[in-house]
Amino acid sequence: MKFPFLLPLALLTTSALAAPLVKQTIATGLNDPMEIAIAPNGDFYVIEREGRVLRINPNTGGIFVIGTIKVHALRSTEPKSPIGREDGLLGIAIDPAFSTNQHIFLYYSAADKLENRLSRFTLKDGKIDSASELQLLIIPTERDQTATHQAGSLKFDSDGLLYLSTGDNTNPFASAGVAPIDDRDDKIFFDAQRTAGNTNDLRGKILRIKPTKTGYEIPQGNLFPKGTAKTRPEIYVMGCRNPFRISIDPKTKTLYWGEVGPDAQADGPKGPRGHDEVNQAKAAGNFGWPFVIANNKPYPIVDFSNNTIGQMTDPNSPKNPGKRNTGLTDLPPAQSAFIWYPYADSAEFPIIGKGGRNAMAGPIFYHEADRKFNILSKEDNKTLLNYDWMRGKIFKTKLTEDEKFEKMEILMEKIVHPMDLEMNKDGSLVLLEYGSDWYFNKNGSVSNLLPDDGNKPPTITIKATPDVANGYSVDKASDPEGKPMVVSWYVTEDTTERNLGTGSNIVLPAGKFQEIRAVAKDENGAIAIARISLTHASELKSLKLELGKTTQKPTFGDKLKYKVTAEQNPDPKNLSIRARYVPPTGHDSGGPKFEPEPAELAKANQCLACHQVDTTSVGPAYFDVAIKYRDQKDAKDYLVNKLKTGGSGVWGVVPMPPQAALKADDADRLVTAILELAHGANEVAGNLEGEITLPPKFNTELGGAWEISAEAAGYSPSKIRIPAK
């Protein structure tokens, strides 16, 4: 069928980009997607953080749930939990012989034990056979006290060796953004000497094994030969903080990975400011964490019990003096990062810019004249595609013949948290976008990135046909060049799909279907996909938040106009609008939170039985208390007295008993922590349309973002992030 020209598809480029690319979205509505793998037949396999494994047909947009792995993960039922916040289903790889053996490899946080597992599964009739699980590696983990950094990327090289990245499983929030090497007895979770710097521990590493029918073998060339005392032979690279995404050069087998770095804003006595890294390993090695960062900038050994600064690390001869170190004391020489950059402007790599950071490593581009697509020119042969999750950009880093850095340019930007980037066998790029928030996204997506050959993909939307039972029809459709196109209809039926034919409308046959799709294809093969869910089980109504236009980036104290709408508007008295400043630190708990010490103090004194930081319980949320009293001059004294004497009536009829056993110093610390929750945040309630004043300036780094959110009981929240001045 042929449709008239409506609107051209805008290229996702700017004049600053190195080369234009066209984005064709294949799948939408994914929930926190983590990693993608491409099967030999072209199908995409995607994992979601909370445990689903999906197969996606790139030709029809069909999304099929082929299994759900039982994982420990942060869930919306307890969104503020400090336990295992970065756990979940973390990595996926397709066996090189998948066409014949149907093996997939998954890395996940076990739900029944404190461990992460690398397991091989077999597909049976297109689904994961849970009974087929072969556990290859068991990595004990810790989840308490916001112990984070799990990494989890999986990749096969051309020799069939499997690489797995693991994070340092350490709390990074109590070390002032420098090296977390806290040796105190009660600070196990704050010590990366026990993991990343430990030659006898599999955390904070990139592991390399050779899978076999019944397990795995150790390949030649790993960092420590098998049998070396106080080491693990699976280690290929050690000294990693959070090596979140890895890639392997298909020709040279050189390993690349993005390393998410620490948060210190400036150099100081306890070490250098934080940097993210893109690393390159042509051979096994030690990349230094937690004793060096960036281009081998060293950290001193700090005694956290008295803040004494000890011996500075020698990058050529680093040592691990940690008392929880079960491995070697003398470590291999530290290797410099390939690319490194702080929150501020980078002197060495200025094109990267400044702001939040979360480095990732993507594929290596080689120009092949006989391939269907070449997303870069012949002059860009041998180029690393690295990207940044926070900054939403893909960079092309040209390499010399001997794999040294030559130059870097921006390839693409304005991406919604790029989570994975893979090169398809036809030369196109496959982009996995995580979604707009840090957790509980429902807008993750998979897209093809293609070179701009002058032919733009068509556009299409569909709707239920009025007055036609089970009828669906094209709402709007166009081809930018005004050329003919064909619309084909599909329905999802469990793990398969059914082609219902072509045309401008269709009537569903009898059956139990999950989704209907229309695929518009032009005469050059470019496609667009529209979909409507046929399942509506217990989904919350959605809020739509709109912000008034601003002429410049807003800053502290500015006013922003907002408007909230919904298909059925909420009762305004149940609606709250929040403005929250998100610093460019690369870490975001999803809302206000206590630092570890006041959190432990509140827990030890049973405060959390009646109060939560950001959720109303039988008592008010601590955040609401902070907002209410932050402008009151005697707020601290008033609230300390309230703790001691108790009371009722301010927040409801439930009385607060006096906390007579709370020590004066502890009461002071707890109230201080409560009032600090209001730093960088403000809230208004009761109106669907109005104005919110951004909070006053507080002691924080600039260059972050404003998160404006609307929440109401019975509705899914709406959030918008905009750059801050």
Q: Does residue 587 sit in the same domain as residue 607?
A: yes
Residue 608: CATH number of its domain:
1.10.760.10
Q: Does residue 95 sit in the same domain as residue 4?
A: no
pLDDT at position 690 is 95
pLDDT at position 646 is 67
Q: Domain boundary residue among 489, 515, 539?
A: 539
What would the mean pLDDT of 599-626 be, rounded to a whole number? 71
* Count of structural domains within the chain: 3
Query: Comparing 318-332, 504-518, 545-559, which segment has the lowest mean pLDDT?
Result: 545-559
Mean pLDDT score across all residues of the chain: 90
* CB-CB contact of 465 with 471 (8 Å): yes
Q: Does residue 476 sit in the same domain as residue 575?
A: no
Q: Does residue 128 sit in the same domain as residue 165?
A: yes
Q: Nearest to residue 242, comparing CAs of 147, 339, 167?
A: 167
Q: Does residue 49 sit in the same domain as residue 110?
A: yes
Q: Does 458 have pLDDT greater than 80?
A: yes
Q: Does 702 have pLDDT greater than 80?
A: no
Q: Does residue 428 sit in the same domain as residue 484?
A: no
| Confidence category of residue 657, pLDDT binned at 50, 70, 90 | low
| Confidence category of residue 616, pLDDT binned at 50, 70, 90 | low
Q: How far is CA 218 from CA 115, 163, 207, 234, 235, in A?
A: 22, 12, 10, 6, 9
Q: Does residue 518 sit in the same domain as residue 570?
A: no
Q: Does residue 330 sit in the same domain as residue 464?
A: no
Query: Comparing 100-114, 207-221, 290-304, 666-680, which segment has the lowest mean pLDDT?
Result: 666-680
Q: Does residue 335 sit in the same domain as residue 405?
A: yes
Q: Does 477 have pLDDT greater than 90?
A: yes
* CB-CB contact of 537 with 712 (8 Å): no
Q: Does residue 49 sit in the same domain as residue 171?
A: yes
Residue 2: CATH number of its domain:
2.60.40
Domain span holding position 493: 1-20+452-539
Phi, psi dihedral angles at 625 (to 5 degrees): -65, -45
Residue 40: CATH number of its domain:
2.120.10.30
Q: Does residue 404 sit in the same domain as residue 421?
A: yes
Q: Does residue 42 sit in the same domain as residue 188?
A: yes
Phi, psi dihedral angles at 692 (to 5 degrees): -120, 135
pLDDT at position 2 is 33
pLDDT at position 656 is 63
Q: Does 550 have pLDDT greater than 90?
A: no
Query: Comparing 46-60, 332-346, 536-550, which segment has the lowest mean pLDDT?
Result: 536-550
- Relative to beta strand 496-502, strand 383-388 is unpaired
* CB-CB contact of 95 with 101 (8 Å): yes
Tokens representing residue 522 in the block: 């032009």
pLDDT at position 7 is 26
What would the mean pLDDT of 625-635 be, rounded to a whole number? 86
Q: Domain boundary residue among 451, 477, 501?
A: 451
Q: Nearest to residue 103, comparing CAs of 156, 65, 60, 151?
A: 156
pLDDT at position 136 is 98
Q: Domain boundary residue among 499, 515, 539?
A: 539
